[in-house]
Amino acid sequence: MKLPYLKQDCDLTLKEGLELHYRVNPSFEENVKLVPIFYNHDIVHVLFGLDTSIPNESLADSRCIFSTNWGFKKYFSDYFNNPNAVKIVKDIFKENGYIKSIFLSFICIPKIFRVYIDSKRMYKKWELYPNDDLLNTKLSDLRNKYNITIIN
Protein backbone atom coordinates (compact mmCIF):
# COMPACT_ATOMS: atom_id res chain seq x y z
CA MET A 1 0.00 0.00 0.00
CA LYS A 2 1.40 3.37 -1.02
CA LEU A 3 0.78 5.65 1.93
CA PRO A 4 -0.38 9.14 0.91
CA TYR A 5 1.60 10.80 3.71
CA LEU A 6 4.83 9.70 2.00
CA LYS A 7 4.22 12.44 -0.60
CA GLN A 8 5.49 15.97 0.02
CA ASP A 9 2.17 17.62 -0.89
CA CYS A 10 -0.14 15.28 1.06
CA ASP A 11 -3.55 16.80 1.83
CA LEU A 12 -4.31 14.58 4.81
CA THR A 13 -4.24 16.23 8.20
CA LEU A 14 -1.61 15.04 10.65
CA LYS A 15 -4.37 13.33 12.63
CA GLU A 16 -5.69 11.53 9.52
CA GLY A 17 -2.17 10.46 8.60
CA LEU A 18 -1.60 9.10 12.10
CA GLU A 19 -4.90 7.21 12.01
CA LEU A 20 -3.86 5.68 8.66
CA HIS A 21 -0.46 4.78 10.13
CA TYR A 22 -2.22 2.88 12.92
CA ARG A 23 -4.65 1.17 10.51
CA VAL A 24 -1.76 -0.17 8.43
CA ASN A 25 -0.37 -1.94 11.48
CA PRO A 26 -2.53 -1.95 14.62
CA SER A 27 0.45 -3.15 16.69
CA PHE A 28 1.85 0.40 16.43
CA GLU A 29 -1.07 1.73 18.44
CA GLU A 30 -0.76 -1.17 20.89
CA ASN A 31 2.91 -0.27 21.34
CA VAL A 32 1.92 3.30 22.25
CA LYS A 33 -0.18 1.90 25.10
CA LEU A 34 2.92 0.12 26.41
CA VAL A 35 5.36 2.93 25.60
CA PRO A 36 3.63 6.32 25.37
CA ILE A 37 6.72 8.01 23.86
CA PHE A 38 6.16 5.93 20.72
CA TYR A 39 3.27 8.31 19.96
CA ASN A 40 5.78 11.05 19.10
CA HIS A 41 7.87 8.61 17.07
CA ASP A 42 4.74 7.65 15.10
CA ILE A 43 3.94 11.31 14.47
CA VAL A 44 7.47 11.72 13.09
CA HIS A 45 6.79 8.89 10.62
CA VAL A 46 3.72 10.70 9.33
CA LEU A 47 4.96 14.31 9.45
CA PHE A 48 8.28 13.53 7.80
CA GLY A 49 6.82 11.03 5.31
CA LEU A 50 8.53 7.84 6.42
CA ASP A 51 7.29 4.27 6.21
CA THR A 52 8.30 1.63 8.76
CA SER A 53 10.98 -0.19 6.78
CA ILE A 54 14.27 -0.60 8.66
CA PRO A 55 16.04 2.15 6.67
CA ASN A 56 13.14 4.54 7.28
CA GLU A 57 13.08 3.61 10.97
CA SER A 58 16.68 4.85 11.09
CA LEU A 59 15.57 8.06 9.37
CA ALA A 60 12.66 8.43 11.80
CA ASP A 61 15.08 8.07 14.71
CA SER A 62 17.31 10.70 13.09
CA ARG A 63 14.32 13.01 12.58
CA CYS A 64 13.35 12.57 16.24
CA ILE A 65 16.86 13.57 17.30
CA PHE A 66 17.60 16.40 14.85
CA SER A 67 14.21 17.76 13.72
CA THR A 68 12.27 17.81 16.98
CA ASN A 69 12.83 19.25 20.42
CA TRP A 70 13.34 15.69 21.69
CA GLY A 71 17.10 15.77 21.12
CA PHE A 72 19.71 13.03 21.31
CA LYS A 73 20.09 12.66 25.07
CA LYS A 74 16.40 12.67 25.97
CA TYR A 75 15.46 10.46 23.00
CA PHE A 76 17.85 7.69 23.99
CA SER A 77 17.08 8.12 27.67
CA ASP A 78 13.34 7.77 26.98
CA TYR A 79 13.96 4.58 25.01
CA PHE A 80 16.64 2.83 27.07
CA ASN A 81 15.07 3.65 30.44
CA ASN A 82 11.83 1.96 29.40
CA PRO A 83 12.07 -1.85 29.44
CA ASN A 84 9.03 -2.18 27.17
CA ALA A 85 10.65 0.09 24.58
CA VAL A 86 13.87 -1.91 24.68
CA LYS A 87 11.94 -5.16 24.28
CA ILE A 88 9.94 -3.85 21.31
CA VAL A 89 13.07 -2.55 19.56
CA LYS A 90 14.88 -5.85 20.18
CA ASP A 91 11.88 -7.77 18.83
CA ILE A 92 11.92 -5.67 15.64
CA PHE A 93 15.63 -6.38 15.14
CA LYS A 94 15.10 -10.08 15.89
CA GLU A 95 12.13 -10.32 13.51
CA ASN A 96 14.09 -8.74 10.66
CA GLY A 97 17.41 -10.36 11.56
CA TYR A 98 20.08 -8.57 13.54
CA ILE A 99 22.72 -8.53 10.78
CA LYS A 100 20.24 -7.45 8.12
CA SER A 101 18.81 -4.73 10.38
CA ILE A 102 22.25 -3.34 11.18
CA PHE A 103 23.24 -3.45 7.49
CA LEU A 104 20.06 -1.70 6.39
CA SER A 105 20.58 0.94 9.06
CA PHE A 106 24.16 1.54 7.89
CA ILE A 107 23.28 1.93 4.22
CA CYS A 108 21.02 4.87 5.01
CA ILE A 109 23.86 6.94 6.53
CA PRO A 110 23.97 9.28 3.49
CA LYS A 111 20.24 9.96 3.97
CA ILE A 112 20.84 10.60 7.68
CA PHE A 113 23.25 13.38 6.66
CA ARG A 114 20.50 14.78 4.42
CA VAL A 115 18.08 14.63 7.37
CA TYR A 116 20.58 16.53 9.50
CA ILE A 117 21.00 19.22 6.83
CA ASP A 118 17.23 19.45 6.33
CA SER A 119 16.71 19.80 10.07
CA LYS A 120 19.05 22.83 10.05
CA ARG A 121 16.96 24.36 7.25
CA MET A 122 13.70 23.96 9.17
CA TYR A 123 12.21 27.23 10.40
CA LYS A 124 11.80 25.70 13.85
CA LYS A 125 11.94 22.25 15.42
CA TRP A 126 8.82 20.16 15.77
CA GLU A 127 7.46 20.18 19.34
CA LEU A 128 6.54 16.89 20.95
CA TYR A 129 2.88 16.26 21.77
CA PRO A 130 1.27 18.59 19.23
CA ASN A 131 -1.95 20.38 20.11
CA ASP A 132 -5.29 19.81 18.35
CA ASP A 133 -4.70 22.72 15.97
CA LEU A 134 -1.52 21.11 14.64
CA LEU A 135 -3.12 17.65 14.54
CA ASN A 136 -5.95 19.07 12.41
CA THR A 137 -3.61 20.85 9.97
CA LYS A 138 -2.86 19.43 6.52
CA LEU A 139 0.52 17.75 6.27
CA SER A 140 1.38 19.86 3.22
CA ASP A 141 0.71 23.02 5.24
CA LEU A 142 2.78 21.80 8.20
CA ARG A 143 5.64 20.87 5.91
CA ASN A 144 5.54 24.35 4.38
CA LYS A 145 5.24 26.02 7.78
CA TYR A 146 8.27 24.17 9.17
CA ASN A 147 10.18 23.92 5.86
CA ILE A 148 10.24 20.12 5.90
CA THR A 149 11.46 18.16 2.90
CA ILE A 150 10.50 14.50 2.61
CA ILE A 151 13.61 12.30 2.52
CA ASN A 152 12.79 8.62 2.11
Break the chain into its structural domains and give their ranges. 11-146
Sequence-distant (≥ 6) Cβ neighbours of residue 83 within 8 angstroms: none
CA–CA distance, 117 with 29 (Å, rounded to integer)? 30
Position 1 scores a pLDDT of: 64
Taking 50 as the pLDDT cut, the residues of the chain under it are: none
**Helical residues (DSSP H) of the chain, grouped into ranges:** 14-24, 26-34, 38-47, 54-66, 72-80, 83-96, 98-106, 109-121, 132-135, 139-146
Position 89 scores a pLDDT of: 87
> How many CB atoms are located within 10 Å of the residue 102 CB?
13
pTM of this structure: 0.93
